[in-house]
Amino acid sequence: MSGRIICVAQQKGGAGKTTLVSNLAVAYLAEGKSVALFDTDPQGSLGKWLDIREETLGENQRLWFSTATAYGISRAIRGVDGEADVILIDTPPKADSDVRWVLRESDLVLVPVSASQADVWATHDLLDLADRAGKPTHIVMNRTRAGTRVGEEVAKSVAELEAQQLQSSLANRVVYAEALGRGLGVVEAKRNSSASDEVRALADEVSAILEL
């Protein structure tokens, strides 16, 4: 079976797209899977993350990376056909017509919502585009803060959206920012930690949806 394609998209900047992509990639690598990463965001954060990673860890034969335009994503994916178990696509903070090219190729769309109402407001356009593309779409709560009023309010607003939500979520933890800056996933940066547990749970939940 060819690789399962996951796109991470959210119009709001800083919601956690690159964090999700990098952490899922590392979690799947740790399971022995092969992973292809495509960055369609001109900011290039994912490529920088990988540069730093390779400076310390060297190249990994089971990890491919390429930048791609949204329009060019189909060709880029064909380039790793049959080689990668999982294909993860990072996208820019937009919900414009370009992202439709990426949605069209995806088996699953993940939409991170960081714990603020602004993220929820920014989610509608993307959900609409994913719905029109007919792609299974799940919101992933990011930077959650248990026991805070804002956390409760955002969770309530998300529950009111006509969208599925993953059970797994990522809490607001410094280790996510640290790991990103060091070219790592949190399962590497802090192996025995709540952060690692929640990333593994997220990767497992996504695997179950995609029958990976």
Binder of residue 159, out of Mg ion, ligand ATP, none (CB less than 5 to 8 A by kind): none
> Is residue 123 close enough to count as binding Mg ion by CB under 5 A?
no
Sheet of 137-142: strand order equals 63-67, 35-39, 86-90, 4-8, 108-114, 137-142, 164-165
Q: Which of 18, 34, 169, 196 is close enough to bind Mg ion by CB under 5 A?
A: 18
Of 152, 148, 72, 61, which Cα lies nearest the Cα of 105? Answer: 72
Q: Does 143 bind ligand ATP (CB under 6 A)?
A: yes
Residues whose CB falls within 8 Å of the CB of residue 151, separated by 6 or more in sequence, listed in order: 115, 144, 145
67 makes contact with Mg ion (CB under 5 A) = no
DSSP 43-92: T-HHHHHHHHHHHHH---TTEEEEE--STTHHHHHHTTTTT-SEEEEE--
Largest separation between any pair of C-alpha atoms in the chain? 47
Strand partners, 111: 139
CB atoms within 10 A of CB 172: 15
Q: Which stretch binds ligand ATP (CB under 6 A): 11-19, 102-110, 154-162, 202-210?
A: 11-19
Nearer to ligand ATP, 29 or 115 (CB): 115
**Binding to ligand ATP in span 66-85, by CB under 6 A:** none
Stretch that binds Mg ion, among 18-26, 107-115, 172-180, 204-212 (CB under 5 A): 18-26
13 lines the binding site for ligand ATP (CB under 6 A): yes
Stretch in the footprint of Mg ion (CB under 5 A) among 45-53, 121-129, 170-178, 188-196: 45-53
* Matching residue, tokens 């999700």: 20
**By the rule CB under 5 A, 94 interacts with Mg ion:** no
CB of 7 to Mg ion, least distance (A): 13
CA distance 66 to 61: 14
Where do contacts with ligand ATP occur on this chain (CB under 6 A)? 10, 13-19, 41, 43, 45, 93, 142-143, 170, 172-173, 176-177, 180
Where do contacts with Mg ion occur on this chain (CB under 5 A)? 17-18, 45
